[in-house]
Amino acid sequence: MPRPTTTARLGKISGPIPVHPDVTNQPPAAAPTVEVFWRPGCSYCAALKSDLARRGIAAVWRDIWVDGDARAFVRSVNHGNETVPTVRIGERTMTNPTGDQVCDLLTDTQ
């Protein structure tokens, strides 16, 4: 079956406009939020921050020494320990991940 085509005449389009089969009328899904729980002086946190920035991955950075809710969350997923960096994307978390692991999880949740 031939695809419909468009014809331009004096700046107007006549005839049906082809629509790619993957296009929907739904707005694009929002990218999941990357949350990184960290603390000052943590070299692993600094390395992850640099790696994510190099990859162009935006994240919300939550200092567990300042934010009590962030501290409680980190303890809840790390057997009572304040192990950082801890990353949350959606409902999934990782402790001390590499940039590659964050990328993989980010891809899995989109």
The token pair at 20 is 């790619």
- Cα(26)–Cα(110) distance, integer angstroms: 15
**Amino acid identity of 84?**
V
Within a domain: 88: yes
Within a domain: 85: yes
Within a domain: 53: yes
Within a domain: 3: no
Return the pLDDT at 7: 47
Domain count, the chain: 1
| pLDDT tens digits for range 29-69 | 667 899 999 999 999 999 999 999 999 999 999 999 999 99
Q: Which domain holds residue 70?
A: 34-105
Within a domain: 17: no
- Cα(98)–Cα(44) distance, integer angstroms: 9
From the number of C-beta atoms within 10 Å of its C-beta (0-12, 13-18, 19+), residue 47 rates as: middle
What pTM value is reported for the model?
0.72
Within a domain: 28: no
Within a domain: 77: yes
